[in-house]
Amino acid sequence: MSIEFHCSSCNRLIRAPKEASGKYGKCPYCKQSVYVPLPADELDEIPMKPLDPREEARRQRLRHEDVALAAAVDHETREAPERPQSTPESAMGAPRAAAPTLDVEEHIVRYVLAMRDSRLGEADEVANTLRKVGKKARQEIERIQVDGMPPAGLEGIPPALLKGFLRTLSERLA
């Protein structure tokens, strides 16, 4: 009895003796190395290990906790109030007061959150604001990267993603 299979290279039908099953040989047509499969009647079913009900219950509980935590974080970030855009006093006709000191860390957090939520226009605005204090902003980004602990509001962002956003912002400020 022979085994019939198709060459993985030229797709032609090959007939090989049963003794060649489970071994490699050469296709008689294209001379490529091919694996001669075992006959279907010789394939044994691989028994599966029985499921441990305690382990499955633990996995299910962990899955539910992960989903609940992700939903809570998502809800928390969506419910965060949007900051109103301030209008310059000069536009309202009032005399312009001294410019307030820019909270660089707060702007970096706003940039990262805008990037995370794909609000690219807002991220551009924040980056342009930070560009005005370029060196100070780059120093603050470096401090955040070295510190290892994300600033308040960024705890739920995966470290690799946060690192990428900070690197991108730093490059934009250079």
For 89-157, give the secondary structure using H, E and C.
Answer: HHHHCCCCCCCCCCCHHHHHHHHHHHHHCCCHHHHHHHHHHHHCCHHHHHHHHHHHHHHCCCCCCCCCC
pLDDT one-digit tens code per residue, 15-37: 999 889 889 999 999 999 999 98
* pLDDT at residue number 12: 95
The pLDDT of residue 79 is: 62
pLDDT at position 98? 45
Q: Which residue has the higher pLDDT, 169 or 48?
A: 169
pLDDT over 90 for what percent of the chain? 18
Mean pLDDT of 91-118: 74
Per-residue pLDDT band for 152 (boundaries 50, 70, 90) equals confident
| Confidence (pLDDT) at 15 | 92
| pLDDT value of position 111 | 93
- Give the pLDDT of residue 14: 94
| Tokens encoding 54 | 């305690």
Whether the per-residue pLDDT at 46 is higher than 80: the answer is no
SS3 1: coil
- Range of lowest pLDDT (23-32, 53-62, 73-82, 129-138): 73-82
